Amino acid sequence: MLLIRAIVRPEKKDEVLAELSSAGFNAATMVDVVGRGKQKGIKIGGMVYDEIPKTLILMVIPEDAKDKVIKMILAIAKTGTEGTFGDGKIFVSPVDEVYTISKGTRGL
């Protein structure tokens, strides 16, 4: 199993979640975060904004679903045809074990 951490624009959150849900990946956790990227934030006038609000979406998915989910997030979270700075990032990390508390079972 894999943990997908996707940092997306807050306004794209609902769209991404709706699309994932319709493809059968309903389970997700959302956190409001602030951060900056390679561009060192946004400079407007003399003011540098380096705590830009984003939404972090956490999902644990089976390994064979990785490409599908990533492709889906990439397609929706992108703004404009070429994409713009600040559209976000996706990180993928391994997950050893998963437990569902209510059923007490192992696995997704």
CA separation for the pair 91, 43 (Å, rounded): 26
Of residues 37-66, those binding other proteins (CB under 8 A): 58, 60
Residues in binding contact with other proteins, number by CB under 8 A:
23
Go through the chain and tell me how many residues it has. Answer: 108
Does position 98 interact with other proteins (CB under 8 A)? The reply is yes
Q: Which residues contact 24 (CB under 8 A, 6 or more apart)?
A: none
Residue 29 C-beta: closest distance to other proteins, Å: 4
Q: Which tokens is 104 given? A: 């007490």
Residues making contact with other proteins (CB under 8 A)? 3, 17, 21, 26-31, 58, 60, 93-104
